[in-house]
Homo-oligomer: A and B are copies of this chain.
Amino acid sequence: MDATPVWFMRQAGRYMAEYRALREKHDLLTLCRTPDLAVEVTLQPIRALGVDAAILFSDLLLPLEPLGLPFHFAAGEGPVVDRPLRTRADVDALRRFEPRESLGYVLEAIRLLRRELSVPLIGFAGAPFTLASYAIEGGHSSHFTITKRLMYEDPDTWHRLAALLAEVVSDYLRAQVDAGAQALQLFDSWVGALDAGDYREFVLPHVQALFAGLRGCGVPLIHFGTGTGHLLALQREAGGDVIGVDWRTPLDEGWARAGDGVAVQGNLEPHALFAPRERLLARVDDVLARVRGRVGHVFNLGHGILPGTPVEQVRAVVEHVHASTASA
């Protein structure tokens, strides 16, 4: 058996000095929209960490602008959507777009990366609920109150929006594969705020349609969320070859809930990377022990690498996972 593959969500980013040096010269969206810069940032962790896959450096919100929802990043505040979606008319004014035209810079970065990389390249996009929550709330949210109110008070408008997002994201991910992406991750980062009944009614059909649009694309599909311990069986039903498990759910329990015949990705607590080395590696060992010899585990964190994380700790995890799982 080969060693368990390892990569990290946000393996490129602020915790790396090389990234911070580039960010002194360019803002986040410039990095995303300039293929040479997106390539450089994507490659930084490949050089530094010894991970087994690259993930395209990009931003979940890029599809919002060509849909008709411009946004910007406010200093220290995260994304701000200029005119958040609130009404049926707002939703009706959105437009499906051709990713080869509107997000061609992402696809160009993928093409350039394939020439540079010796490890597989993962493309990604945000799922309908997570994208809709940014579009509706206008940025990050704690409770998703406006999003949930739209669902409950005007389900037709919600379904119209979610269906459009599923189409757009499916087109966008397929274009990433056509450009050279060798795996895809769908980030439904915030869907854990919903209970199972709401997931089934308001999310499941749209994520199923999204994955149906990717059928036959020939690359592994990873389906990720946080706080979704109660939704893992439904996320499996929605689609994906690999189900992401966050750090709150022990990997073996998460795998049992996702069911047989699917791979799992996860699930080290991202803050463990701040712990003394002995505690950190004990937690890595705990994740690996919960695999119990099954095939189909991709080692990752339960969410993204946090700012301030020591790079040498991340590298130590990669080495430890490889050393612990390589066959003799």
Q: Which residues of B contact A142 (CB under 8 A)?
A: 142
CB of A192 closer than 8 Å to a CB of B: yes
When chains A and B are docked, how far (Å) is the Cα of A284 from the Cα of B308? 44
Q: Is the CB of A197 within 8 A of B152?
A: no
The listed residue (B153, B250, B274) touching A152 by CB distance below 8 A is: B274
CB of A286 closer than 8 Å to a CB of B: yes
Mask of A180-206 contacts with B, CB within 8 angstroms, 1/0? 000000000000111111100000000
Mask of A249-272 contacts with B, CB within 8 angstroms, 1/0? 110010000000000000001111
Question: Taking each of A194, A196, A198, A248, which has the highest tally of chain B beta carbons within 10 Å of its own beta carbon?
Answer: A248
- Residue on B nearest A274 in the bound complex, by CB: B149
Interface size class of chain A, counting residues whose CB lies under 8 Å from the partner chain: 35 or more
Q: Is the CB of B196 within 8 A of A250?
A: yes
CB of A306 closer than 8 Å to a CB of B: yes
Q: Is the CB of B230 within 8 A of A274?
A: no
Known: A145-B306, A230-B248; 10 extra A-B contacts, CB below 8 A, are: A144-B271, A149-B271, A152-B279, A153-B274, A195-B247, A195-B248, A195-B250, A197-B286, A227-B227, A230-B249
14 contacts between A and B (CB under 8 A): A142-B142, A143-B306, A145-B308, A148-B274, A152-B272, A152-B274, A152-B275, A153-B276, A195-B269, A227-B227, A229-B229, A229-B230, A230-B249, A230-B250
Show the binding face of A for B, using Cβ within 8 Å: 142-145, 148-149, 152-153, 192-198, 227, 229-230, 247-250, 253, 269-272, 274-276, 279, 283, 286, 306, 308
- 9 pairs of A and B residues whose beta carbons are closest in the complex: A152-B275, A148-B271, A149-B274, A230-B248, A195-B247, A195-B248, A229-B230, A229-B229, A230-B249
